């Protein structure tokens, strides 16, 4: 932690700042420059320390040098964490094999869910996605089938062997959703819903944590840290586009976040090209880019008939479009040193 002092800060203020830092267990080193004086603080710097000195008279700025995440950081793990979803062969995140999750934005009914599951499994997906509770910007939009959708997901899982992921939005529903799904998703709008993150830290189901629309990479790691700190070590991070001034795409896929995250954390990192681009024709190029940049997996919206989708129809692939994407993805995966399950192998499993 480096404290820069305002010009003209007196000795009494400097002494007080050093005392405060030392009372926090840090050692302090003063360096006087021509125009500025700085105090370097070393020791086990806690995130809270920064603001405990930041308000003292004479302090111009406080910059942390060490990273504020402990459990999510690479130093906290011997190697990369592999998160397993369900008991099936294909749903591993963080290993050499690329994880591919596919399915509809919303579970609109049993028939369409089963149809989608069979199609994406045939194309090589290892896991099924489908929204039961949908966060909607407007209260007047379709908000999901709720509990009924959870039951459809559990049933299709039994039939197809595909583990399922669905979003949880309310601390009161964590146990309910965990009773039906293999992975619980935290949506972008809830990335800093700390009550929900804590509740998810208390269960033993993997959490798929989506990056918030305006969340920095640091904040995404700290959100994961909330889950880890409460006891759940299975967190999958998901880059899904951030909000910028550009309106040609729904969001701006921050593809550089993939290598940046992989360098910082032992947790698996996947990408959602459907929400990032917001248009069906962008899903394939963004998926390829994500894998080329080092992503551990993809989560893709597939609907049997996108034109009839109750939500996100513009960005959903039809089954044949998804199958084509999977076929074209293979050489990119291999170029990235990854394997991709053979569709046949998957169905036999």
135 scored as a contact of a second copy (CB under 8 A): yes
Tokens of 107: 């579970």
Q: How far is the CB of 56 from a second copy (least distance, A)?
A: 5
Helix or strand or coil: residue 166?
Answer: strand
Angle at 306 between CA 134 and CA 124, to 5 degrees: 90
With contact defined as beta carbons under 8 Å apart, do 17 and 3 qualify?
A: yes
38 scored as a contact of a second copy (CB under 8 A): yes
Q: How far is the CB of 257 from a second copy (least distance, A)?
A: 7
Residues 6+ apart with CB under 8 A from 286: 253, 255, 271, 273, 276, 277
179 scored as a contact of a second copy (CB under 8 A): no
With contact defined as beta carbons under 8 Å apart, do 160 and 175 qualify?
A: no
Helix or strand or coil: residue 255?
Answer: coil
Q: Which of 8, 55, 158, 204 binds a second copy (CB under 8 A)?
A: 55
Q: Which of 21, 113, 222, 267 binds a second copy (CB under 8 A)?
A: 222
Q: How far is the CB of 268 from a second copy (least distance, A)?
A: 16
242 scored as a contact of a second copy (CB under 8 A): yes
Interface pattern 285-324 for a second copy (x via CB under 8 A): xx-xxxxxxx-----------xxxxxxxxx-x--------
Q: Of the two residues 56 and 119, which places its CB atom closer to a second copy in the complex?
A: 56
235 scored as a contact of a second copy (CB under 8 A): no
Of the listed pieces 90-98, 107-115, 148-156, 281-289, which binds a second copy according to CB under 8 A?
A: 281-289
Restricting to residues 72-101, which ones interact with a second copy according to CB under 8 A?
none
Q: Which of 24, 46, 115, 154 binds a second copy (CB under 8 A)?
A: 46
Rounded to whole angstroms, the Cα distance separating 262 from 296 reads: 9
131 scored as a contact of a second copy (CB under 8 A): no
Rounded to whole angstroms, the Cα distance separating 39 from 307 reads: 61
With contact defined as beta carbons under 8 Å apart, do 185 and 166 qualify?
A: yes
Of the listed pieces 60-68, 88-96, 117-125, 152-160, which binds a second copy according to CB under 8 A?
A: 60-68
Rounded to whole angstroms, the Cα distance separating 338 from 262 reads: 15
Helix or strand or coil: residue 297?
Answer: strand
């Amino acid at each position: 932690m480096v404290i820069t002092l305002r010009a003209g800060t007196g000795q009494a203020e400097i002494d007080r700042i050093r005392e405060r830092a030392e009372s926090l267990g840090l050692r302090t080193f003063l360096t006087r420059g021509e125009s500025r004086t700085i105090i370097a603080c070393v020791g086990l710097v806690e995130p809270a320390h920064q603001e405990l000195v930041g308000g003292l008279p004479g302090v111009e700025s406080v910059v942390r040098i060490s990273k504020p995440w402990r459990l999510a950081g690479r130093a906290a793990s011997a190697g990369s964490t592999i998160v397993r979803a369900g008991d099936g062969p294909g749903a591993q995140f963080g290993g050499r094999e690329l994880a591919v999750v596919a399915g509809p934005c919303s579970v609109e009914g049993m028939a369409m869910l089963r149809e989608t599951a069979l199609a994406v499994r045939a194309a090589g997906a290892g896991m099924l996605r489908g929204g039961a509770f949908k966060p909607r910007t407007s209260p007047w939009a379709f908000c999901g089938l709720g509990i009924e959708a959870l039951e459809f997901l559990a049933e299709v899982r039994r039939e197809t062997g595909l583990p399922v992921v669905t979003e949880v939005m309310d601390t009161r529903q964590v146990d309910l959703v965990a009773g039906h799904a293999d992975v619980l998703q935290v949506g972008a709008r809830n990335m800093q819903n700390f009550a929900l993150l804590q509740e998810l830290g208390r269960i033993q189901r993997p959490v798929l944590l989506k990056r918030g629309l305006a969340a920095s990479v640091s904040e995404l790691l700290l959100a994961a840290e909330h889950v880890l700190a409460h006891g759940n070590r299975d967190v999958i991070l998901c880059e899904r586009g951030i909000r910028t001034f550009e309106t040609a795409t729904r969001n701006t896929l921050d593809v550089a976040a993939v290598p940046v995250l992989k360098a910082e954390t032992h947790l698996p990192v996947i990408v959602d090209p459907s929400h990032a681009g917001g248009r069906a024709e962008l899903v394939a190029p963004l998926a390829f880019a994500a894998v080329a940049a080092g992503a551990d997996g993809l989560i893709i919206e597939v609907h049997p008939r996108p034109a009839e989708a109750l939500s996100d129809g513009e960005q959903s692939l039809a089954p044949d479009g998804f199958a084509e994407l999977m076929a074209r993805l293979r050489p990119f995966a291999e170029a990235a040193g990854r394997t991709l399950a053979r569709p046949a192998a998957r169905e036999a499993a």
